[in-house]
Amino acid sequence: MVCSCDRNSGPVWCCVLRSHQQPSGLNVSKGGQLIDGFAYPFASIGIVLLFTEMLICSHVVESSTHEELFQSHGHTSHIIYLQKAGTVTDQSFGSFAAFASNKKNHSVVITSRRKPVDVRFEAKTVIATFTSLFGFVLQFVGLRSMHWSATVAQLGVMITMAILRCFIRRDLAKTPKTEEIPTGFELD
């Protein structure tokens, strides 16, 4: 489960209220017993560790790439992706040209390439991996020990965020216009 502060503030506060505060008239228990004292700290520390892991990984990706900006001045630009013919395992693929959507303004093209491998980035990636694993286990144990409503609130926020991501990225799944080109003459 990947979490961040902005989208998880609701479940975090739900966890706080369900584990630390017992409002009058609201009997919050799990299996007839009070919730363990470690439940909320484990869940919240797990959420913070997972958020930290996401920050470290995004820093590594951003810092290990080099972006170049190409701009056409006064010309109409079209982006064409070329696929060379080839065979992968038992599947053969022909040569194709895929044309980017004409709806977008292609006067500016940004390319991104990897920088040479740096030991610092590898170390940060290993640290982020172990932080993620430790945070996931802590969050899981904490949520497992809490009242069911905290886990359901967490699940509800994650489903909401998945739906929002699908809605925001709905145009990325459109099939581009393609045209088969002769094999061996892709660049002609």
Say how far apart CA 181 and CA 80 lie, in whole Å. Answer: 12
Whether the Cβ atoms of residue 97 and residue 181 lie closer than 8 Å to each other: yes
Please check whether residue 82 lies inside any domain of the structure. Answer: no
pTM for this model (two decimals): 0.62
Say how far apart CA 5 and CA 156 lie, in whole Å. Answer: 15
Say how far apart CA 116 and CA 65 lie, in whole Å. Answer: 9
What pLDDT, in 10s, does the model give residues 106-141? 677 778 888 888 888 889 999 999 999 999 999 999
Please check whether residue 170 lies inside any domain of the structure. Answer: no
What is the extent of the structural domain holding 39? 5-74+115-164
* Number of domains, the chain: 1
Please check whether residue 88 lies inside any domain of the structure. Answer: no
What pLDDT, in 10s, does the model give residues 81-99? 888 888 888 888 888 888 8
79 strand-pairing partners: none
Q: By 3-state DSSP, what share of the chain in percent is helix, strand and coil, each rounded to 5?
A: 50, 20, 35
